[in-house]
Chain A
Amino acid sequence: MILIGLHLAIFLLYFERKGSALIQDRVGANRASITGLGKKFGIPNLGIVNTLLADPIKLFTKEDFVPAGADHFLHTLAPFVALFPVLITFVVIPFGDTITIGSRTFGLQAANLNAAALYLLATIGIGVYGVALGGWASNNRWALLGGIRATAQMISYEIAMGLAIIAIIMTYGTLDLQEMVRMQGGVWFGWLPRWGIFVEPIAFILLLTAGIAESKRVPFDLPEGESELILGYMIEYSGGKQAAFMLTDLAEQALIAMLLVTFFFGGWQVPWLYRDGFHLPGGLTIAVAPLLVSIAGIVAFLVKVVMVCIFMGLIRWTLPRFRYDQLMRLGWKILVPLGLANILITAFVVVVSGGAH
């Protein structure tokens, strides 16, 4: 699962370079290639070698520099403190139902915790320290400013995120992510998939916003702010350690996308596909083998995650950066009250309808 997360992060890196170029009408990375192989066959250079091979190799072979006066131990520790919580969060994401190969049945979730939603909040909360320490240990004013900004931003938006997740927990009546996804199977009115987004649209917007803020992407990239803080808390990092920080951001984005898919887009559920095959709205039934259903679930999960990632990319390349007071006002004066109101409404609906979901 961690590997899927990392691959997604690499995909995002590629998308970051070429997708942004596409949106902003630029050419983007297109220089490196292996012996001009693509040119020989007339394939346009898509920049794959550039982004997936040349960039990482360049980063990892650079000198690992620790500035004078910096706290050497913490400076080294910080990128790992940042990366570790994100990676261990991937284990609770269900990426499929059970799969039966031969006579053995596997659950497609690396760790089936029954308090997974709490686990998420805990790991995301601890993720703040990497950035904060990176900023502090660098012995650099810009880095410290970036670190302080990142910390303030992340704990502010964590509250909005927590409130959104509370409403989701109330809706599904469980903390188990796999259970939540199972509940999203089936249809309403004979055609509409029972996805979370149709029940909790406000929570979706909250979690999307807070999630982008949490992963420190544009328009919430104040901690990095190239034009004002010259990369903020990362300013004194080079080589593999900076790569770890960048990977943290990308992996966090992939994680947020997975969470959104799990909570709101039915996780691995394919619309109208049940254990025994498709039951289309028109009453048409197509039988599908159980193994294929399991595989279709995994594929559907990945496709959904990639779609959400691309959507987040579109936001990233469309909106300008917030000003700091705007950021705080959005977090505390709009998202938090909205989250509280959403919890109240959800509680009311759950009580009136006499049960979860």
Chain B
Amino acid sequence: MHTALFWFLAAVSVISALGVVLQRNPVHCLLSLIVTLLAIAVMFIGEGAIVVGFLQAIVYGGAIMVLFLFVIWLLNLGVEIGPTGHIALKFFGTLAVAAMTAELMAFMLPPHLEVKYAGHVAGYGSIDSLSQKLFSEYLVAFEVTSVLLLVAVIGAVALARRTSASEIAQNADDSARRAQGAS
């Protein structure tokens, strides 16, 4: 990837990530998050990880963020007005963030973390190499993850159902008795 392009994308993703935290309108925050995700997807593609980049755009950019948008709409979240929280909370929060930033800087700045660029192996980032890895080396983890996701989906449906089968039967009994009592 061209260096200028990298810096541009890096700047876009950092600025929009800040926008996610700093803006007050939830829809604007969400849009900033989408821009961040897409910028990172383009970075992936620029680095040759084409499939990962497109999957990031499809799954996160195209699907999950739309669901977030739905949640914001349906909960009818308004614009956050004015400062929130106690002053002491803010003071200690700022301290904690500063400490965290200093720590991360200490770990991540050179010479601790030097860019190790080994060059791409043949077929790097293509769907062939990705699926070879997924379905041979990481097959068990892959299958277990898919089962886990399936369980999560079924669980969500089970929890979201308003009434269970026994409650429906109970309600039917009640209404039948009420009908008998009325007659």
Which positions in A face B, CB cutoff 8 Å? 71, 74, 113-115, 118-119, 121-122, 124-126, 128-129, 132-133, 136, 144, 148, 151-152, 155, 158, 175
Contact = CB atoms under 8 A, between A and B. Distances in A.
Nearest to A152: B70
Contacts of A151: 66, 69-70
A132 B69 contact: yes
Interface residues of B, number: 23
A175 B51 CA distance: 11
A74 B63 CA distance: 20
A50 to B, nearest CB: 38
13 contacts: A71-B25, A71-B27, A74-B28, A115-B50, A115-B54, A122-B54, A122-B58, A125-B63, A128-B66, A129-B66, A148-B70, A151-B70, A158-B62
Interface of B: 25, 27-28, 31, 34, 38, 41, 50-51, 54-55, 57-58, 61-63, 66-67, 69-70, 73, 126-127
A125 B57 contact: yes
A247 to B, nearest CB: 21
A126 B69 contact: no
Contacts of A114: 50, 126
Contacts of A152: 70
Contacts of A129: 34, 66
A144 B34 contact: no
A118 B51 CA distance: 8
Nearest to A175: B127
Nearest to B27: A136
A121 B73 contact: no
B50 A126 contact: no
B73 A136 contact: yes
B57 A126 contact: yes
B51 A148 contact: no
B74 to A, nearest CB: 9
Which residue among B31, B38, B67 has the maximum number of chain A CB atoms within 10 Å of its CB?
B31
Contact of A119 (B34, B38, B54, B70): B54
Contact of B62 (A74, A113, A125, A144): A125
Given A128-B62, A144-B73, A175-B127, A121 B54 contact: yes
A170 B126 CA distance: 16
Contacts of A136: 27, 73
Given A115-B51, A118-B51, A136-B27, A126 B38 contact: yes
A121 B69 contact: no
Contacts of A71: 25, 27
A136 B62 CA distance: 17
B54 A148 contact: no
Contacts of A132: 66, 69
